[in-house]
Amino acid sequence: MQRKVTKAVFPVAGMGTRFLPATKSVPKEIMTLVDRPLIQYAIDEARAAGITEFIFVTSRGKGALEDYFDRAPDLEATLKAKGKTELLELVQATNMDSGAIAYVRQNQALGLGHAVWCARHLIGDEPFAVLLPDDVIAADKPCLAQMVDAYAETGGNMIAAMEVAPEMASSYGIMDVPPSIGRVLPMQGMVEKPAPGTQPSNLAAIGRYILSPDVMRHLGDIKPGVGGEIQLTDAIAREIAEKRNVYGYRFDGHRYDCGSKAGFLQATVAFGLARAELGPELERFLSDMMAQRQAAE
Ligand code: G1P
């Protein structure tokens, strides 16, 4: 039996420059996908996988993110007085229990690995999950819950894996795995953003990880890697070299890259279409629009 994973780290310190000017005053994680902030999708996925302790690695200017998870007594009282029960429940579902959520600061942008390392004292000697909120995954069974089930069999470390086009491999952490069609893939190595044409496979790491405390330890003594940043991938590569207990997990679901404008828009359309109260109207609008565009060509 593996130790249960109850803690998750959410690196949210990034400046969100790709979404300027919107992110000048609003943290990227608060940007809205249909009607919920991006971060809510990651939180819900973590909860569904059994996570009870949520650790946010933040930076200056992320105050709105902290407030979002607090109780809003005035708002709740107003909704209650007006008998808006459904809205009240919706708002209350975003409240986090006292003490369930912790914030640590990353005071210098030294990379994803460094951001995760900032949570080391709160993680201690336990396995932990990492969720990158930019990666939004639509799935019948949430991605992290799929991984927690697989991890119960394997232990070690597990990282969400997805096939990418060869020309995209240099944008990801790429797994070195033997050719296989299975879901759980023992890794022989991992490389962050390989130079074009040098990737060991086309299997990319997506932002869901279950990691052992050893990886946290490696993060404390690896040198800066690609882009001069402390890379999470490099700490995982060291763990593979030492123990060979790292697995890629080919998840069932569709991943949207909400760190890019195109991916955010695609997710907005897909999640809108999937909603019973919005889908039919949105679908009509999209097909009318496509027809108009084709007619104009
Ligand atoms: C990060 C990781 C990379 C991973 C990617 C998934 O990269 O460093 O290994 O493949 O997230 O989204 P970033 O997108 O922050 O450049």
Whether ligand 1 lies within 6 angstroms of the CB of 162 is answered as no
**The domain containing residue 19 runs over which residues?**
7-259
Nearest CA to ligand 1 atom 7: 172
Please, which residues have CB within 8 angstroms of residue 25's CB and are 6 or more apart in sequence?
none
Domain of 103, CATH number, reads 3.90.550.10
Q: What is the pLDDT of residues 149-182, one digit of tens each?
A: 999 999 999 999 999 999 999 999 999 999 888 8
Pair 123, 252 in one domain: yes
Pair 24, 42 in one domain: yes
Residue 35 included in any domain: yes
What is the tally of structural domains in the chain?
A: 2
The predicted model gives 129-149 an average pLDDT of 97
In ligand 1, the atom with minimum distance to the C-alpha of 173 is 9
Pair 289, 160 in one domain: no
Average pLDDT over the chain, rounded to an integer: 94
Residue 103 has a pLDDT of: 94
Pair 100, 228 in one domain: yes
Q: What is the pLDDT of residues 93-102, one digit of tens each?
A: 888 888 889 9
Q: In angstroms, what is the span from residue 293 Cα to ligand 1's centroid?
A: 35
Pair 97, 16 in one domain: yes
Residue 1 included in any domain: no
Residue 269 has a pLDDT of: 97
Whether ligand 1 lies within 6 angstroms of the CB of 207 is answered as yes
Query: Using 50, 70 and 90 to split pLDDT, how confident is the model at 277?
Result: very high
Query: What predicted TM-score, i.e. pTM, was given to this entire model?
Result: 0.94
Residue 24 has a pLDDT of: 86
Pair 180, 100 in one domain: yes
Pair 189, 268 in one domain: no
Q: What is the pLDDT of residues 5-18, one digit of tens each?
A: 999 999 999 888 88
Pair 65, 107 in one domain: yes
Pair 266, 254 in one domain: no
In ligand 1, the atom with minimum distance to the C-alpha of 257 is 12
The predicted model gives 185-192 an average pLDDT of 96
**Mutation to probe ligand 1, out of 29, 132, 255 (largest number of atoms < 8 A from CB):** 132
Residue 2 included in any domain: no
Pair 193, 278 in one domain: no
| Out of 78-87, 92-101, 193-202, 206-215, least confident range | 92-101
Nearest CA to ligand 1 atom 6: 206
Residue 205 included in any domain: yes
**Mutation to probe ligand 1, out of 19, 28, 112 (largest number of atoms < 8 A from CB):** 112
33-43: burial string, b at 16+ Cβ within 10 Å, e else = beeebbbbbbb
Residue 49 included in any domain: yes
Each as own residue / partner, the long-range contacts of residues 194-198 (CB below 8 Å, 24 or more positions apart, any chain) are 194/169, 194/170, 195/170, 196/167, 196/169, 196/170
Whether ligand 1 lies within 6 angstroms of the CB of 106 is answered as no
Pair 205, 268 in one domain: no
**Mutation to probe ligand 1, out of 136, 172, 249 (largest number of atoms < 8 A from CB):** 172
| Out of 44-48, 61-65, 99-103, 223-227, least confident range | 61-65
CA separation, residue 235 to residues 181, 208, 220, 279 (Å): 26, 15, 9, 43
Nearest 5°: the CA angle 261, 102, 6 is 90
Pair 235, 91 in one domain: yes
Residue 2 has a pLDDT of: 74
> Is it the case that residue 1 has pLDDT exceeding 70?
no
